[in-house]
Amino acid sequence: MNETATSKDEPPSPQLSTRATLFRIGKDSHGRWVVRDQWGLRGGLFVDRAEALKFAMFEGGNRPQAVIMVPGLLELDMSAKPRDATPQPRRRSLQRVA
């Protein structure tokens, strides 16, 4: 019997699974199913909607509220830098008083 490890056997990344991550699922301009997380750290291309949803649910800790179906095009951009997961403080503009 030949056993091989598949992505479904691997647990989600421990440092990422503690965050409330949202996953977007949609089709790209070539008709492929895309999954992309909000931080740009996890995602992939899938052969069908079921596999894309399975991946997003698994990586999202089986939380249906963490999966968003995108009605328009969703492209997988592997060249972008991952977005920082920590919220940045909002900057207020200074007003000059004359």
Please give the share of the chain, as a percent, with pLDDT higher than 90. 50
pLDDT in tens, 64-87: 999 999 999 999 887 767 665 555
Contacts of 49 (CB under 8 A, 6+ apart): 25, 33
CA 62, 65, 71 angle in degrees (round to 5)?
A: 115
* Cα separation of the two ends of the chain: 82
Distance from C-alpha of 86 to C-alpha of 1, rounded to nearest angstrom? 46
| pLDDT confidence bin for 1, thresholds 50/70/90 | very low
pTM to 2 decimal places: 0.62
Alpha-carbon separation of residue 64 from 39, 69, 75, 81, 88 (angstroms):
18, 11, 22, 27, 27
Please give the share of the chain, as a percent, with pLDDT higher than 70. 61
8 A C-beta contact, residue 71 and residue 90? no
- Locate the domains of the chain by residue range: 20-73
Whether the per-residue pLDDT at 50 is higher than 50: the answer is yes
